[in-house]
Structure 1
Amino acid sequence: MSIMPVLWIVWAGVTAVMLILLAYRGTITRYEEDQIFLDAAASHQEKQQTEILERVTKINPFVRMATGATCVLSACILGIYVWDAVRHLM
């Protein structure tokens, strides 16, 4: 049995996880402000922004791992196809 179908299935799964994580991070950061001018009456906004930042900080390592795994698997798939093409040309 060839390893290519297995690699494609694993790649699709990891890529799907990465896209789900990116979409989730996008929904979290939708209400994040770039700049806030806070006074004593707006302390709830500071709390909301801090919570958003904490959630994004928790999810970022998983996004990086999924992105790295997708890149490595893509390189492996491409390398196998190139190796196979060179082998058939020789």
Structure 2
Amino acid sequence: MLILWIVWAVVTCALLALLAYRGTLTRYEEDQLFLDPAENHQQAEQTEIVKKVNRVTPLVRIMTGATCVLSVLIIGIYVWDAISQFK
């Protein structure tokens, strides 16, 4: 059970780190850009930010799923043990 808790903690910390990283990336992303030909560098910056966010998004989804599965597994083990105690 201790190993399961350690795995859950590592996966959850990785998820929090990915969420923090994605938050720092999107902090400088603009919702709308009104660009003229002289400001192509801003478009390039925004495109680079979107590429980085798109690379992180699948990892965030995987870690979120893993955290949820491990949480349900831990809760299930405790519920199973509680039911076994009453029998």
Tell me the TM-score normalised to structure 2 length.
0.97
- Kindly report which structure 2 residues correspond to 1:3-82, keeping only aligned pairs within 5 A, or say none: 4-82=1-79
Deviations along 1:30-85, whole A, 9 cap, x unmatched? Answer: 10001111111111110000000000001111111111100000000000000101
Aligned residues: 87
RMSD of aligned residue pairs (Cα, Å): 0.6
Structure 1 runs of 4+ with >3 Å offset: none
- 2:72 equivalent to 1:84: no
Long gaps (5+) in structure 2: none
1: CA distance, partners of 2:38 / 2:65: 43
Percentage of identical aligned residues: 62
Query: How far apart, CA to CA, are the structure 1 residues paired with 2:83 and 2:33?
Result: 57
DSSP-derived class of the 2:31 partner: coil
Q: For 1:46, give the aligned amino acid.
A: Q
Q: Distance in 1 between matches of 2:84 and 2:35?
A: 65
Question: Runs of 5+ in structure 1 lacking a partner?
Answer: none
Q: Distance in 1 between matches of 2:9 and 2:68?
A: 12
Q: With the length of structure 1 as denominator, give the TM-score of the two structures.
A: 0.94
Q: Distance in 2 between matches of 1:67 and 1:44?
A: 34
